[in-house]
Chain A
């Protein structure tokens, strides 16, 4: 067992994937000698060389577009988008090309591209450094979207994402990069939980609290803080596709669902999950599905982010609202 932060676990997972498969490449801005602005690719340039760890020109569209060409040539590029807000210049290549290539080629072409994106707020950053753009990805057919909440998942899911034949958006909760856990790096990847599966992070009986990425920790804290109820916490892990059987099983037991995320409310992941759970669990629900999300505004200046981001109190307020029915 190795005690790793989420950041170091992704680094170790990248290293393992690069050792396993010589076709795995890392590409991005400052990922080489610097090791990335969050040091997630630290040491890879030194050990695998500049042909496999590529400091790209400063152009996100170029990074994703060339990764598509690399994938066509048989490589498995892992691209880093330095911050969530810098994904947008790459939107065209991602949405019109990467996501649709399999369909356009009638299944001839695979796009085993992983796009790593540090995302979410809470680090006191200037604008475009705290965004939660997951809804755009969820809305795009052809992309898989996952987010990790702990170092164990970070280590295995980056490797699973790299082995996937589909393009994977790998969302890294930047404010949780330094959260630690014991990781068994000697275990077999075959035994790791599949990256598409949700995980019951804390069992409970009275309400289900669903979160992913940076909000999982907050959800667990809320479950601990609510001493009046037994709260089951689910770490969604995969945002697209969603592991509905795990959620449905939980909600049929608890009768209440609260979904928490940093993405904005309207058209967010919670909206889609609420609709589906209402369909599948209608006769088991004791209350409407409650969403706790960021407001429908641009991410505010950092002095307001403590108000903007759903925090422990707002998650508890959401749980209270569920119990008010």
Chain B
């Protein structure tokens, strides 16, 4: 296998926390092509033949295994749309680390759009981690539009952690989920925008099964002239519980919009939405300054903690 150059190694470190091709099952996509893949005994990765992307099959009963599927883009002006389907058997307990890093050194727009579909089998537990990172010394924009489509079978549990902290100029994220009986979906989203960035997040969650539940926690910081839009629709169609929480720190000349909708179609659907947008509280800055931090350092600590 060919080696990665230092730019790509840094991207890999940023989005997946690893330096080299990881142990276990993995698929590494670089500049629009599959760079390397590896199967494990229980996880099989099959390239799609009709469109770009892969099918991932995780055998029933697979426990304590992880799968890495990072995407790196270092070629300016490259645009791609990739379909990854995850077929997770029953009674699994797996961690999936995805993520996309773009280094745009040119003046053309680079774009990665991924559609991830998850079919999580009965009583399986999945932890899905996705990091987005962009950098570049040119003036080409970095664009990422991820879509996740999640189907949870009876008793399935999925935790989805997404983070986009730096360098992505425009993002339009869509997450759709359908939950069967006793299924649980936890989403933790962390987002920071700066400059003229625009970030849009859209959730549509159908709580179809008896005693299913979801908890969506979005924490974001909007700096400079950036814009953020958070939209969520949680539909309670059975005895279920749904909780969405959108908490944003607004700074400088930024703009943040939170549009929550909770819809109960069943008398025993218990749905809550909380949304708060505000600047950093003056007393928080003062408190940290009494510990010897400058105002700027205090601000960084508060934001760092908030997005931790």
Q: A and B from one assembly? A: no
Residues in A lying within 8 Å of B, measured CB to CB:
none
Residues in B lying within 8 Å of A, measured CB to CB:
none
